[in-house]
Structure 1
Amino acid sequence: MNADKQQSNPLNQLRHQQPDALIDEWNQICQNDRERALTWINDPKLEFPVLYMLREQLETRDEDLDPRARIALAQIRNVLQGADIGVTKVASFATQHDEVVGAMHWMLNTGWKNIVSTDFTQVIDQTAINFLHTYHENWLKEMVDLVLYRYKNKSQRHYLICAMWETADPICLVYLSNYLLSDQSVESNYARRTLAFIPEVRHALDNQSAMLAFETWYEENAHFLVYTGETNDAVPGGRPYRIHYSAKYLGKIVSPRSGEPIQVLLSNEKKNYFEFIKLPIRLQISLSAYSSLLRKQQPKIWRGWVVQPIKEQLQSISTPAHGRYNL
């Protein structure tokens, strides 16, 4: 939504220009023109920080508020007072779900780029976590943006980072990598440090090279990444994702959360799988990289090669038949 249109609500404008006067002005408007006050507070263009700042004044007017505002006020109480308030009106599960999701989406989209107070930050954090992990809504890109915003403003972000990683969705790495090319060094440096668990990114000479290195690495390994539970925030030098080398070797997509292949293994693939995991990690890395390259460049040859015994595969990739590969 266009920012000018979003701020066209007089209460939004007042908060931006004279935040300390918002409550007194609201009380005055309510006394002079109650209908106008309700129109403004229920306006689709209202920003969540306004409702948050007026929450105590609005508690007594609950029946006059639309569902979005009532749900947002309930969420504030749930977070700050440890309440457990739900939707009380009679409605279908689908309607209730859509109204709650819609209200939370509004709270986040109009409120995340604000640091009103510590309590407000807590409300935004918990709402973002609920949005991702309770309602399973697609807000991961915005979560990455929020983490960077908090980092730049030296504000609370630990729980956001944990929630971001706990989605076990490697796409967050892509959203982070976009910041490598930011013209703000504070953003590009943060992205570089966060992605430093990838050797190619860590050793890149500059941010543009780091971006290219990341793109190559992600293209080669995206289907084989497994969430480790480590984060750069909780563990210095943490590695949030690892490569599932046996899956990469067989070309089988894995679940990032469980680390288990989501594709069925054929009998000969199972045999090679168990032989593969017995290899030293150095050989696992080399053999999986070779298999991935051969599968991409010569798929017909790869289909015959991958079912050969492991010992023959190790021998064959050191011979001219497939081009020598450094083991």
Structure 2
Amino acid sequence: MLSRTADGLYWLARYAERADSTGRLLMMGRKLAMLPDGVSGDDWRSVLRVTASESFVTPEADVSEGDAVGILLLDPANPASVRACIDKARANGRAVRTAITLEMWEALNDGWRRLERMPLDKAVRDLAGLVDWSRGYVARFRGAVSTSMLRNEGHDFLRIGSAVERADTTLRLLDVNYHLLLPEGDAIGGHRDHYRWNALLQTLSGLRAYYHVYRDNVRPWHIADFLLTNRVFPRSLAFSVGQMRYHLERLAQEHGRRTDCHRSIELFDDRLARMGDGDIFQYGLHEFVLESQAELNRISREIGEAYHF
């Protein structure tokens, strides 16, 4: 496979996942706004921070829901906005048109301009419907990949891109919410913590799965384990890293060579496998997340170097 095709498939998957994740974050902000203590500008700022979009507002600004919707849903200049991600996913799909199926292209091409001329006030009013549409757009593409694409190296690059983006989103979301929900001196386990941790799990479609695993109240140390080391929850760090390892191994066998990215992903995956219950919280959640983000970024660069994109 040509390196530019591998690059296009990898980033097509990343932008599609990012569009879905950004929509989820907007709905998390909306859910927090419905809590008894409401949501403050600092809370909306934290939603921007997860997507590295904080630079689109001034440091002293009190960020409103309208600000967040404009930046994260509609702004074409923000590479994390739903509109920009859908545009870039389609552009990458067009660039690798011969490497994807007709069903995949139709999923990318259908209605992709919906957000182009959307007024901000209408977007705020219809936020839930627009997020549902964007998630459905991405879900249709995922379904087309699942049911129509050959399980060849192109499929491997798509799956690697999806896994990298999911892992990155989970790490960002957990780190930002750790500081939001557990400020210095605050007691753990109050109603404020409970509702906001629930909102975090709902954002990742993991609330029912969490209760299935732990069958008790939401506890920060259990959430850390669930989102970082659980190997059967599809948005956990460990699951995503496992997917990266599997598809990179397939590529190594296809090309007959192993590179730094293969060795790095094995070490990362093995480290996560050794983590026991509560180990991450005792180690330091913030420190572990920062280290994992740095490792994930390094592996992503190594993948690009290995396959020349």
TM-score by length of 2: 0.25
Of Structure 1 and Structure 2, which has the larger fraction of its residues in helix? 2
